Chains A and B, each alone.
Chain A
Amino acid sequence: MQASPEKLLWMYETMVEIRNYEETMANVYLEGKLPPQIQKGLAFDIGSGPVPGEMHLAAGQEPVAVGVCAHLKKEDTVVGTHRPHHFAIAKGVPLDKMTAEMFGKVTGLGKGKGGHMHLFDPEHKFSCSGIIGASLPPACGAGLAAKKMGEDWVAVAFFGEGAANQGSFHESLNLAALWRLPVIFVCEDNNWAISVPKSNATSIEWVADRASAYGIPGIKVANNDALEVYEAVAPAIERARLGEGPSLIEVKTDRYLGHFQGDPEVYRPKDEVSNLRKNDPIPKLAALLKSRGLMTDAEEGVIVARAKERVAGAFAFARQSAYPAAQDALNDVFA
């Protein structure tokens, strides 16, 4: 399936926005966490600053999010992972509310009760989880609901290659295949389950090969490339919309940053990231757009500026928003 010029431009702009979002967050996250303000002996204080807690950023993994979400409509469901920002942005989750949630503000998606790993946007049908492998079962549920309602909506479960060794992966693939649910299982293989490389954790090279065990298509995307993802995913989306059942897709992608911000990455070869960055998918797509005459240098500048402005606006909104009243901690246990 050929991507239309509009889709290509949308993927490009969304990737730029995601990258800028993650880089901005990487800096903001460090505010208030580093010496010398904190106690002696600490290198880093995770519970300080405007954005406390763990922070998992997805710089480098943009092609997975945009290549898949470019096929989706608002009624389609996306369930993301503990590293969820790129998926949320690509699914259309409002940047202001998402950022405010990470700042723990009352204007956040969950009024400050979820934080960065627990972003819930029922309107745009996005959710995620801090638990590895937990995205697959609820995506089956969204797929089942679409099927029962007689809609052609699909559900996407994103998960990492580490999650493919969880029981939930196998249970969900079997269930979705058995019930022919409109689910697209997308394995985001960045080769690292925190510090453990895939070769030390997974018995086969391609998780996608496991699709054959459930009688469903297994699709392999060897390069961290938005257009390649877009084209590879197309038949899986179509199959799901036609009611023919799920597919498993695996994308080899690259994690430019640590597992979480502050990760010393002692496990990673020193030159790995600089080598990965040589294949940065964003300039690659820009070059393609220009070679096809779809974007001029001037237009590129406008797109980049526009994306950065949205990100800056979201961070400003989050900073300016109020914290919830402490007593609000007692509300919302039940709907």
Chain B
Amino acid sequence: MLQLPRPVGALVRAVLLLAAASAVIFLCTAALPGDAADVLGGGRATAEELARLREEQGLDRPLHVRYLDWLSGVLTGEPGVSLITGRPVAELVAERVAVTLALAVAALAVSIPLTTAVAWAAVRGPRWARPAANTLIVTCAALPQAVVAAALVAWLSAAWGMFPPVSMLPAGERPWHRLDLLVLPVLTLALPTAAYGAALLRGAIADVVARPYVRDAELRGLSPAAVLFRYVLPMIAAPATRLFAVLLGGLVAGTAVVEILFGLAGLGELLVTAISTRDVPVVQSVALLAAAVVVAGLLVADAAAPKAARS
């Protein structure tokens, strides 16, 4: 067996993973009933007109030809044009990256400390806090975003008037210029994510604290803080990094509901609309971007893992 140098092997794996993801995404969109020509015809075009539209759009070509065409477009930096609007996909995506990135990164920034704190409380918190933390994890992890959004709007907007109930970003402004508009969408994303993350991290923490050398350190009378920083955190750094990479990917892909509820034009809203209009080049590109974020995060986590284990 040819043994590749480690970073190269990781990169090859990442590329293969992305290629597989793009094929799965393409097959899924192809399996949906109807296509963009149906949407453009609005149900009111004749069969001949639809056939002509399909030919114009290249939708009459075989599946693998369309896929390879799109793939080579992506590799050369030209992911095609939207079948519905005729606008370049790259432009549609570029317009929206800022909104989704701001939402996802801010949600991650809120989730990381929250996840860690809740997971820690569930395993090593004061006796009274453990069941509370565990209940919180179980109930919040499964909460649909729409419910969280409704509750936050009712509480922070309607009752207290602290933040607007929708987030119409003023024309020409970047999301980080109007943090007040981001608070509710970010919390809607971050709260269930943190609970879900805590559910996964809880196990890793429980594992580590049960290790003999941690017990040993405790018995030798090291302060809880010293045990935490010297023995526990280095051990959970790798699983935690991997977890947050996956969470970030989930956040990028999961902004759709939040963007629609709060009226923000981001990638999630673009993805959902593109799926419903069978705008395959757009669906493919946005989904691949989300997959790339996850894969990149996993790469970072992999790179961090041996270092964390050594220290």
Report whether chain A binds chain B. no
Interface set of A (CB-CB < 8 Å, partner B):
none
Interface set of B (CB-CB < 8 Å, partner A):
none
